[in-house]
């Protein structure tokens, strides 16, 4: 999902270079994505942590990984942005997610949602949950 989010952002933003990266357990790593951005011509790297709230990964781990990745590129500046947090648009996203899931669970949304695999019903709609 992270890679699709990056692809969509790239297609709809003014930023000419967009790369997805993972902190751990998957590739590309932050080091790999940082290097790829530089190879593609970036002189400033903006890292957006795709997290709902700030925490240790945001305050410590990601800056340390980016600092390490940037060490080989003295001409490149970088910035780690805040995560989604309490951005005002989150209220609209929460409302939309709730409405979409309620419609899907009720069988009134044949398209399903972008998360559930079965478009005919919500995969988390439990027995006895009622409507």
The whole-number pLDDT of residue 70 equals 98
How many other CB atoms are there within 10 angstroms of residue 37's CB atom? 23
20 close to 28: Cβ distance less than 8 angstroms: yes
Query: Distance (Å, rounded) from C-alpha 44 to C-alpha 37?
Result: 9
pTM value is 0.82
The whole-number pLDDT of residue 66 equals 98
The whole-number pLDDT of residue 125 equals 61
The residue ranges of DSSP E strands in 1-131, in sequence order, are 44-47, 77-80
Quote the tokens at residue 27. Answer: 């590739």
Query: Distance (Å, rounded) from C-alpha 52 to C-alpha 112?
Result: 23
Name the H helices within 71-112: 89-105
The whole-number pLDDT of residue 31 equals 97
Quote the tokens at residue 85. Answer: 């947090």
Q: Chunk the chain into consecutive blocks of 10 residues (it has 131) and report each block's average pLDDT, rounded to whole numbers.
A: 95 97 95 98 97 94 97 97 95 92 80 67 56 45
The whole-number pLDDT of residue 22 equals 96
Quote the tokens at residue 126. Answer: 């439990």
């Amino acid at each position: 999902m992270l890679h699709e989010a990056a692809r969509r952002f790239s297609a709809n933003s003014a930023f000419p270079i967009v790369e997805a990266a993972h902190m751990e357990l998957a590739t590309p790593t932050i080091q790999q994505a940082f290097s790829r951005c530089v190879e593609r011509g970036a002189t400033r790297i903006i890292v957006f942590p795709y997290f709902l709230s700030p925490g240790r990964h945001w305050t410590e781990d990601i800056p340390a990984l980016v600092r390490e990745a940037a060490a080989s590129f003295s001409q490149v500046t970088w910035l780690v942005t805040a995560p989604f947090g309490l951005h005002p648009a989150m209220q609209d996203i929460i409302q939309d997610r709730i409405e979409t899931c309620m419609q899907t669970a009720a069988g009134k949304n044949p398209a399903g949602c972008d998360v559930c695999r079965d478009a005919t019903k919500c995969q988390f709609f439990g027995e006895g949950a009622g409507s």
